[in-house]
Amino acid sequence: MTDRIRILIVEDHHVVRKGLIALLQASPEVEIIGEASDGLEAIERFHALRPDITLMDLRLPKLGGADVISQLRASDPAARFIVLTTFDGDEDIYRALQAGAKAYLLKGMTVEELLTTIRVVHSGKARIPAAIAEKLAERVSGQELTPRELGVLERIVAGRANKEIASDLSISETTVKSHVNSLLSKLGVADRTHAATLALQRGLVHLP
């Protein structure tokens, strides 16, 4: 069969990657032409193989999935990506779609759902499941944090006090308090603990 959809799989967990390959190879519609385990290898393999579709994890060593998508679409605007991840935070979704992903799936999906998405994306369309679309709507309707507020939020998540944050960012404690009050208001939470929890849930901040 010569018209199979050529797939590149980018996933850093060996067992998950091999499982995806085994599942998809059972379908006569697709052909797995390559695999990569980190972001830099993904770029190299993409240029060498020119897949029809790349299945892309978001959390990758060396270079994150959204950054890989951005770089590859800059050089090849027709490149098609399906994000396949365990992360459903609205900020993760937003970054991936902004980078140019055509679909966003969570790893709990069925094989048929994955194959349907591959067919849709191969036809040139996007496919965003309803639950993911709802998360994205939450992100779009919310107030966006400034880069400085995000920097403060990252340090709140890391457990740093206002004095330490002020030292880290070379600003006054008064300015830190102002940023904290602003980001609490934008996130719709009452205190730093809830801000940290929400930041991790939404993918605004990631633990190392």
pTM attached to this predicted model:
0.68
Q: What is the pLDDT of residues 19-68, one digit of tens each?
A: 999 999 999 999 999 999 999 999 999 999 999 999 999 889 999 899 99
Q: Is residue 2 over pLDDT 90?
A: no
CATH hierarchy code of domain 147-202: 1.10.10.10
Considering the segment(s) 5-140 as one domain, its CATH architecture is 3-Layer(aba) Sandwich (3.40)
Q: Give the model's confidence band at 4: pLDDT under 50 very low, under 70 low, under 90 confident, else very high.
A: very high
Angle between helices 65-75 and 39-49 in degrees, nearest 10: 30
- Which stretches does DSSP call E strand in the chain? 5-10, 30-36, 53-56, 81-85, 103-106
Closest CA to 31 of 8, 13, 11: 8
CA distance 70 to 73: 5
Strand order in the sheet with 81-85: 30-36, 5-10, 53-56, 81-85, 103-106
Q: What is the pLDDT of residues 158-175, one digit of tens each?
A: 999 999 999 999 999 999
Domain ranges of the chain: 5-140, 147-202
Q: Give the model's confidence band at 90: pLDDT under 50 very low, under 70 low, under 90 confident, else very high.
A: low
SS3 64: coil
